[in-house]
Each structure stands twice: as C-alpha cells, then as structure tokens.
Amino acid sequence: MKTRIIGLVALLFTIVSSAQQDAQYTQYMYNTIVVNPAYAGSRQAMSIFALHRNQWVGVDGAPVTNAFSINTPFKESKVGLGLSVVNDKIGISTENNIAADFSYTIPASEKYKLSFGLKASANLLSLDFSKLSYQPGDPNAYQDNIDNKFSPNIGVGFYLHSDNGYVGLSAPNLIETEHFDKSDNSNSSSHIAKEKINYYLIAGYVFDLSPSLKFKPSLETKYVQGAPLQVDVSANFMLNEKFVAGLAYRWNAAMSAMVGFQVSDSWFIGYAYDFDTTEFAKYNSGSHELFLRFELFNRYDKIISPRFF
C-alpha cells in the first residue's frame, strides 16, 4: 500500500506539472532520431528501430514507453527522411506522438558533415480520470476524460558528425502546448498538462584502443524550464565489433548497466537496467529497457565496420 501511495503521488505530480518533460531513455545514443531530426539518414542505411522501456518496476502506474522509428538516406542525395512513433503511458495518461523527419547534409570539413533537420509531429493525449479514487464530495471527481487531445508541433536539430564522433543540438518541440479540463460544476479552466520546450545537447566520440577494442564516452543533456537539468553520461566498450558493455549515470537520479550484441551485419540488440540513486529506490525495483535495430545497407552490400552510434 505504501508503494502505491508513493507511486501515485509521484505520477500525479508528473501529469499535473507545468513543465512536463519528454520520455527519457538510457540508451539514447541509439535512439537519436526521436530527439534530433538531423540524425535522419546519417547512418547511410535504412535503420529500423524498436524500443520498450518499463520504468520503476513495482510502482502502480509507473511510466511505460514504446518507441518505433525508421530513417534512411534518400537515394544518392544529401537528404535524409525519418518517421517515429512513441507511445508513453504514465498513470492515468496515455500519450502518442507521431513525427516525420527531414534532414539535409553538407560537408563541414574533410572529416565532418553538418546536418540540418526539421521535425513535424502530431501529439495525442488521453486522460482517464475514472482510474483515480476520490473522497466523497470531491469536486474533481466530476472531471471529464480527455480523449486523444490533438496538438501539432514542429522541431529543429543540428548534427555535426564524422566516422568517429558527433555533437548535436535540438529542440524537437518548439510549440508550447497546454491541455485544459473543465469540471461539470465549474466554469473555470485548470491545467492538466503543459508541455514546454525540451532542449537537447548530445555528444560522443569513439576511441580505438586496439584493433579489437573501442571505447565510446557519450553525453546527453536535456533542459526544460521549470524542471531540473538532466545530464546523462555513459561509457561503452565494443569488443571485436560484436559485444558492447558499459555503464551510465543520470545526474542525481540513477545508475545504469548496458549490454549489446551485433548479431549480424543487420541486427543489433541492446538491454539496459537502471537503479535509482534517490530515496525512491526503496519503492521500486529498477527500470528495464530493451531495443532491437535492423538495418538495410543501401549504399554498400555489406557493413565494413559497425557504427558505434
């Protein structure tokens, strides 16, 4: 019962918060297209990606996220195209986001390319207040459900990359949206959710420690007004271009362990486990994240060296 009470309080705070954040990912380095449209087509292959994240296991109504994306270079041009779908469930809320991505790449130097990206998205928000328990006489018990509240958005991104490193800056949602609810016995509007602009800074570099061992530190920083700055740092090692293992730290929030395996030239699978470093760790048994990536190499028949990002 204590776990449920703590979880419900935390989840309701997330829903009602005036600075709602986008879904978070531990293995963000493989899921870049969701936050940065300039990433589309940068792998020089048609890349199909699916992810499932189960956060704060053991807490009723804890976040569950499913993400699917596909991106590819467009023929032999400098254009990249992408499509992503994210389903995010938190407590009484269900949010679906569908986005289309466009990128254009120009040479920045002999080694680096600079990509510019645009994102157009549609967001559908649903809130089922019948899942909540109310005290007798509570006026909030008469709130109408929100069913697939539609809100469009646009985003931009920049992505500087080479074969060994990258840095990106993006804002996938530039339009701040507010969702309201009117109680049957009230003429006033109250905020149910307010989504503010999320700014992302990502960076990473691959070091060749030996012919069979690579090391990649990476960083993702997310800023949204009214919420704490989120900083994720990770360190991954790749052995024989097949096995990946590493650790990650989310500042003042969680530690993570990650593993991955390049099953074949086209298939890559990855898993991450997070455990909280806050007091909330007493009420949950961690978070699980699993992803699968499949790629078609349309600019060469066989992958020569797997990209580490």
Predicted confidence at residue 127, as pLDDT, reads: 85
Predicted confidence at residue 304, as pLDDT, reads: 46
Q: What is the pTM of this model?
A: 0.85
* pLDDT tens-digit series, residues 56-78: 999 988 999 999 999 999 988 99
Residue 295 predicted with pLDDT over 80: yes
Using 50, 70 and 90 to split pLDDT, how confident is the model at 134? low
Q: How many CB atoms lie within 10 A of CB 236?
A: 24
Mean pLDDT, rounded, of the chain: 85
Cα–Cα distance for residue pair 197/22, rounded to 1 Å? 9
**Strands (DSSP E) found in 19-112:** 46-54, 64-73, 79-90, 93-107
SS3 labels along 110-165: CCCEEEEEEEEEEEEEEECHHHCCCCCCCHHHHECCEEEEEEEEEEEEEEEECCCE
Most confident of 8-17, 101-110, 193-202: 101-110
Q: Which of 131-135, 249-253, 298-302 has the lowest mean pLDDT?
A: 298-302
Using 50, 70 and 90 to split pLDDT, how confident is the model at 149? confident
Cα–Cα distance for residue pair 251/265, rounded to 1 Å? 34
Residue given tokens 């931009």 in the structure block = 156
Q: Which of 98-112, 148-162, 295-309 has the lowest mean pLDDT?
A: 295-309
**Cα end-to-end distance, the chain, whole Å:** 42
Cα–Cα distance for residue pair 180/150, rounded to 1 Å? 12
CB 238 within 8 A of CB 246: no
Q: Which of 27-41, 167-181, 241-255 has the lowest mean pLDDT?
A: 167-181
Contacts of 31 (CB under 8 A, 6+ apart): 25, 49, 51, 67, 69, 291
Find the mean pLDDT for residues 191-208: 85
**From residue 219, how far is each of 79, 148, 290 by CA, in Å?**
26, 34, 20
Predicted confidence at residue 33, as pLDDT, reads: 95
Using 50, 70 and 90 to split pLDDT, how confident is the model at 177? confident
Pull the structure tokens for residue 33.
Answer: 């297209």
CB 247 within 8 A of CB 257: yes
Predicted confidence at residue 168, as pLDDT, reads: 97
Residue 197 predicted with pLDDT over 70: yes
